[in-house]
Structure 1
């Protein structure tokens, strides 16, 4: 934040920024969420915990819609605690900070991703890998909040949120706040394995699937200087892949095209969340190549042939978002290289339609909720 610059009131609400040693009581926030697997998304009022000295209160401006939000609210992975407010791609302005908060100030534009806490004591947490917390990280929604008794965390389809400063990220000035929101999930999910594999200029990166994750993998890999190949089952996506920056596009259902790609790729980022045969993709990898599985199919995948891995010393790995420090690194990288998500902004009354369109694959490439379209909170909390 530029010193002396007036702080705009977020979302049209008049809020006086302040630093406070203790906030008075819990807060009510307008939200949209599900009350059952069949309810769809409906208007709700959520109670935010009374912030502590190391918390920040954020007036949310935008929240990305992730396909995992659909699975969660519809109970497709497990039956969650209802009512449930989804959303883990949050961008907004800080309105108040606790007395112990020195690294953030009211008016700062910040983000909150897929987790809002962890044990902070295990080996993974101490290494900055909070996403792999050995006791389980605390999800931004649908998780028991250790700082608020038995309450369940509620996500970013909401007018405000209270978060521990350690899990708050700075949104660089160079990033459009709406287009930055999906970076907090889709961006870091694809950035992390590319950094783990030390992708650099001249490396060959393959991307399987061209949806919300895939389009970010293409953009980030290209920004790293890689030669990018998109593998797709749809010839209709050739032009879109090239527009995003892919150097090559391969129709994965064409056996001759796949044979021509043999031993041409160093690392593959697989973003497909439906069961599919990985063996043809392993054949495109060079010696010591790796395939990172990011998509999480609900059903069993076809078996992997061990011989393909053994003959080229290949690695088959998974990857889960990123730690807080790496997520900040990703945001700064994207700002420096003008990388952001391709988005369509929707209002609260369009959320259910957006969910149906996501399921149908009818989005290029991410939806983002404009939270100024939420109704004012009622005097009684639903969650």
Structure 2
């Protein structure tokens, strides 16, 4: 089937409306009419080939929400009319240890929602800046939020699971002191989730003008990380720090805030590497520096259900499809609170 999409024909070309082809649903496929798609910073990196390896035309988008339009004959988990989502994964090998544990995000054969090789035309996956998508039922997620919140649910499919997974894995909950570094698309979700999990939450920001916003998002305390006295007051006190900042920065400034056996997890994907930390800051207190990448399908469903139960959505600003390039520039400038979402109905309008 032929549908409309927004994609980049080349690294040095702006996104434009284009026609793309989707496969007809197979026996285990779900055809989804996309209603909204969140705009992730990685979309920008990919369309401009800043991480290298981008395949063109590149149609980004992996924060997809919509309605089931059709299902294959063997589909049992979804029906026409259901509200559903698709995140960063549309396929995996399904038989490796990672897949068997529900950690498809770490499968070596994981197929990303866009820019991954596939037998379907044009030879690579095309993402959610489009009117429809066809996905195997295993990778389609149920949405139980009220329909009027659907647009604000979209960013949960990447920003939500990217922060939820490490918070859960490293035991965020009552009695734990948890830091969240950066108050952007990822960080604002980290604050909401850590607060809902019952931790004592401390936000770190370089911007004093974000203090009140951070408190409104769930922070119990806010530290301006450029203030040495404020940072020193929290030395050796954190059980876990979620670092959402992608820009290269001094990791040691945060590692020394961890307790013995504390962990800092990095989830921001930098275009260039962070400066290497002082190993003694790890050795002397048995601290850990870790990373985390999105989450598997079962955990992503768990995250969506948790957010629905606790009334959590992203803070968003809606854009038309033809506003994507200005939105990218504003995102680079940090001029969004806190996630753009594309209204797919504006394509072709």
TM-score normalized by the length of structure 1: 0.89
Deviation at 1:49, TM superposition (A): 1.3
Q: Tell me, yes or no, if structure 1 residue 154 matches structure 2 residue 126.
A: yes
Q: Which residue of 18, 25, 29 maps to 1:44?
A: 18
Partner of 1:346: 319
Q: Pick from 80, 101, 110 the counterpart of residue 54 of structure 2.
A: 80
Shift of 1:140: 0.3
CA distance in 2, matches of 1:40, 1:149: 22
Contact 2:38–2:342 under 8 Å retained in 1: yes
The SS at the match of 1:358 is helix
Query: Matches of residues 251-262 of structure 1 in structure 2 within 5 Å?
Result: 251-262=224-235
Structure 1, unmatched stretches of 5+, are: 1-26, 377-383
Deviation, 1:305, is 1.3
Q: Could you tell me which residue of structure 2 aligns to residue 110 of structure 1? A: 84
Does residue 97 (structure 1) correspond to residue 71 (structure 2)? The answer is: yes
Is the Cα–Cα contact under 8 Å of residues 21 and 121 in structure 2 kept in the other structure? Answer: no
Q: Which residue of 2 aligns with 1:242?
A: 215
Match of 2:181 among 201, 204, 208: 208
- Cα distance in 1 for partners of 2:174, 2:312 equals 17
Q: Distance in 2 between matches of 1:317 and 1:112?
A: 26
The count of residues paired between Structure 1 and Structure 2 equals 348
1:173-194 superposed Cα distances (whole Å, 9 cap, x missing partner): 3461100000000000000001
Output the CA distance in 1 between the equivalents of 2:114 and 2:267.
20
Is 1:369 the counterpart of 2:346? The answer is no
For the residue of structure 1 that corresponds to 2:299, the secondary structure is: helix
Aligned to 1:11: none
Q: Which aligned pairs between 1:140-289 and structure 2 lie closer than 5 A? A: 140-146=113-119, 148=120, 151-174=123-146, 176-289=149-262
How far is 1:90 from its partner? 0.3
Q: SS of the counterpart of 1:328? A: helix
Aligned counterparts of 2:336 and 2:174: Cα–Cα separation in 1: 30
Q: Distance in 2 between matches of 1:212 and 1:118?
A: 27
Shift of 1:50: 2.1
- Following superposition, the deviation at residue 126 of structure 1 comes to 0.8
For structure 2, the residue ranges without an aligned partner over 5 or more in a row are none
Q: Secondary structure at the match of 1:312?
A: coil
RMSD: 1.2
SS of residue paired to 2:186: helix
1:301 deviates by 1.4
Match of 1:380 in 2: none
Highest CA radius of gyration, 1 or 2? Answer: 1
Check whether the contact 1:144–1:150 (CA below 8 A) recurs between aligned residues: no
Query: In 1, Cα distance between the equivalents of 2:327 and 2:56?
Result: 21
Distance 1:367 1:173 in 2: 19
Range with greater deviation from structure 2 (304-313 or 327-336) = 304-313
